[in-house]
Structure 1
Amino acid sequence: MGQIIFLRHGQAKNNTERILAGRTEGIPLTDTGIKQSEHTAELLKHMNISAIYSSPIERAKHTAEIAGKYNLLEVTIDDRLNELDMGKFTGMPYDEIFKSNGNVFMKFYNSELEIAHNGVETFSDVKKRILGIVDYVIEKHPDENVLLVTHMDPIKAMLSTIIDLSPTNLYELIIANASLNIFSEKDGKYSLSGLNVMDPSRFDQVGSL
């Protein structure tokens, strides 16, 4: 039984500036994000991964390339791993979004229609595309360990398919930058093997974006 290993990208410039980047291109990893990604790439050397797939967004792609360099693997880009499409909120400061529109993330996890009217991708659509790439990888790489490099909400979407999490739970859950989130599949059922797995020296970073 192989493992599907989700890796959130390392810290990016928007994380430190509290900007909702969404699918905005041209936002690089910070120096800290590069170091985080290198630490995680070292951990992956002990996990015998056979393939790497990545979101097309720069911060995820760079994280994946670091993992590929350390593990001698090429990176395959797959749009199903893309960041959540945040519609009109893309590129806005978090404080401004919350002030003018309330907690849009709670509305997203609640699947409120208002959020879709603002051009935001629905949580159910995120789940569909993530399960699509997972099913594809399981079929293409049976009994292999495969790395999927993506963003926080796609990982939450995968987690929500196996654990009944309330919208509040989903909102409060932080998937740390450059953390590994490990799932296994058997007979069509998924199980969680590890959440926010990282170098022990980074444990104090779990609660930050």
Structure 2
Amino acid sequence: MTETTSAPPPPPRTLLLLVRHGETPTTGMVLPGRTPGLHLSNHGRAQSERLAERLQGLAVDAIYSSPLERTRETAAPAAAVTGLAMHDDAGLLECDFGEWTGATLADLAKLPQWQTVQNSPSTFRFPGGESFPEMQARMVGALKGRCAAHPGGVVACFSHADPIKAAVAHALGTPLDHFQRIFISPGSVSVISLVEGRPPDVLMVNSTQEPLGGLRAT
């Protein structure tokens, strides 16, 4: 009798929910970066409550947040609804804008370097801060760490626009110089399905309305 061997089970896929924090009083006007003390606006708090509602029916295994107040406040309703602890993850932090931190976008747009930020970000380092490649590597590394810690699970990661855009670009195989073409709204969810050693699948980008309970790590 010939013995048959069953094929090994496929490696587990992990769902990564990349959530941008809700709106703040300076959204769209200032580059706040890592400045402490910036909280959600009333609309931002409503966005965070709406996000918690959208998670109903999805078995979330873990919640991680950038340590800044605006991301933690966005994650808090989701943590309350799921009963999960919120864990700080410095890998999810906003880009370090260095000397540009706190500047208005209107003033920055007048600088010649702003065109480099928009059109050739892979070549740019913020004065006294991070480069875009460093930010992308940090964010992608953090997400890989969450995947390794929760194989086959669903992990909600609360972060900021530029790190999420960079992570989505990486998952899509899009050059970093094109990452500014990806739009990430306050309170939005983008979803990546990731398995170690294989290319990721991008299941959703910049979703602000639809329920998330039907997501599967396919």
Q: TM bucket by the smaller chain? A: 0.7 to 0.9
Q: Which residue of 2 aligns with 1:132?
A: 141
SS in 2 for 1:182: strand
Aligned residues: 196
Q: 2:89 aligns with which of 78, 81, 95?
A: 78
Q: Contact 2:147 / 2:195 at 8 angstroms: preserved in 1? A: no
SS in 2 for 1:99: coil
Q: 1:151 aligns with which of 160, 164, 168?
A: 160
User: Structure 2: which amino acid aligns with 1:190?
Assistant: P
User: Structure 1: which amino acid aligns with 2:14?
Assistant: G
Identify unmatched segments of 5+ residues in structure 1. 201-209
User: Structure 2: which amino acid aligns with 1:43?
Assistant: R
User: Structure 1: which amino acid aligns with 2:81?
Assistant: Y
Deviation at 1:107, TM superposition (A): 6.0
Q: Which residue of 2 aligns with 1:95?
A: 106
**What TM-score results when the alignment is normalised by the length of structure 1?**
0.86
SS in 2 for 1:158: helix
SS in 1 for 2:165: helix
SS in 2 for 1:49: coil
How far, CA to CA, are the matches of 1:41 and 1:105 in structure 2? 33
How far, CA to CA, are the matches of 1:108 and 1:67 in structure 2? 36
Deviation string, structure 1 residues 34-87 (Cα, Å, up to 9, x no partner): 101111111112221110000011111110112111221110001000001111
User: Structure 1: which amino acid aligns with 2:202?
Assistant: L
Q: Which residue of 1 aligns with 2:36?
A: 25
Q: Which residue of 1 aligns with 2:151?
A: 142
Deviation string, structure 1 residues 133-183 (Cα, Å, up to 9, x no partner): 112111111110000000011111111212243566422322011111100
**What TM-score results when the alignment is normalised by the length of structure 2?**
0.83
How far, CA to CA, are the matches of 1:13 and 1:45 in structure 2? 28
Q: 1:7 aligns with which of 13, 19, 27?
A: 19
Q: Contact 2:122 / 2:133 at 8 angstroms: preserved in 1? A: no
Q: Contact 1:4 / 1:148 at 8 angstroms: preserved in 2? A: yes
Q: Contact 2:122 / 2:131 at 8 angstroms: preserved in 1? A: no
SS in 1 for 2:187: coil
RMSD: 1.8
Deviation string, structure 1 residues 4-38 (Cα, Å, up to 9, x no partner): 1110000011105x011010111110000010111
Moved more, 66-75 or 157-166: 157-166
Q: Which residue of 2 aligns with 1:203?
A: none
User: Structure 1: which amino acid aligns with 2:15?
Assistant: Q
Greater share of helix residues, 1 or 2?
1
SS in 2 for 1:193: strand
Moved more, 167-176 or 70-79: 167-176
SS in 1 for 2:200: strand
How far, CA to CA, are the matches of 2:181 and 2:15 in structure 1? 26
Q: Which residue of 1 aligns with 2:214?
A: none
Deviation at 1:187, TM superposition (A): 4.4
**Residues 53 and 167 from structure 1, CA distance in 2 versus in 1: closer, same or farther, beyond 3 angstroms?**
closer
Q: Contact 1:48 / 1:145 at 8 angstroms: preserved in 2? A: yes
